[in-house]
């Protein structure tokens, strides 16, 4: 965790921002929950457990700042709420993909890059340099399918 804090501190300092205690709380919450897709409200509720004086507006501003500096990425899974996840741990230029259950809302991460062949074809055919892609697949998770079968 200290390596991540140092890395974010360097990013912020290079753009003339400081690592405030509030920003560090937000970063720690995102790091501690990197396997989840937290909304701003989720982050706020977890930050409040660390420091009750941190306000919701501060959390929103911090998430926006971190997003602008590619420290985190925001995603929309079709439910009208932005979700956030830390990107520093996986900064290879590609995002992972998500399976989204339309029944219960569960989000499953796929770490396989299924679109490499497609990217290559697009690059060759259209002479287009791809910097990133995102794939969301909607359906029903194993639990919801098995509940329906009973």
Q: Is 41 annotated as a binding-site member?
A: no
| Residue 28 annotated in ligand binding | no
Q: Is 98 annotated as a binding residue?
A: no
Got the DSSP string for 45-104?
A: HHHHHH-TT--HHHHHHHHHHHHHTTSEEEEE-SSS-EEEEE-GGG-SS-PPEEEEETTT
The answer to whether 104 is a known ligand-binding residue is yes
CB within 8 Å of 108: residues ≥ 6 apart: 98, 99, 100, 101, 141
Which 3 state secondary structure label does DSSP give 39? strand
Q: Is 7 annotated as a binding residue?
A: no
**Tokens 């720690």 sit on residue:** 28
Q: Which residues are part of a known binding site for Zn(2+)?
A: 101, 104, 141, 144
Q: Which residues are part of a known binding site?
A: 101, 104, 116, 133, 141, 144
Q: Which residues are part of a known binding site for Fe cation?
A: 116, 133
């Amino acid at each position: 965790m200290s390596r991540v804090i140092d890395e974010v501190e360097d990013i912020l300092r290079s753009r003339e921002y400081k690592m405030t205690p509030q920003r560090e709380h937000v970063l720690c919450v995102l790091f501690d929950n990197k396997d989840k897709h937290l909304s701003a409200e989720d982050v706020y509720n977890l930050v409040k457990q660390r420091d009750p004086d941190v306000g919701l507006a501060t959390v929103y501003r911090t998430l926006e700042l971190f997003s602008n500096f590619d420290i985190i990425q925001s995603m929309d899974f079709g439910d009208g709420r932005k979700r956030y996840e830390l990107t520093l741990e996986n900064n290879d230029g590609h995002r992972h993909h998500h399976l989204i259950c339309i029944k219960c809302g569960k989000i499953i991460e796929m770490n396989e890059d299924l679109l490499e062949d497609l990217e290559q074809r697009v690059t060759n055919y259209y002479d287009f340099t791809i910097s990133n892609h995102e794939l969301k697949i909607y359906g029903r998770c194993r639990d919801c399918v098995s509940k329906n079968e009973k």
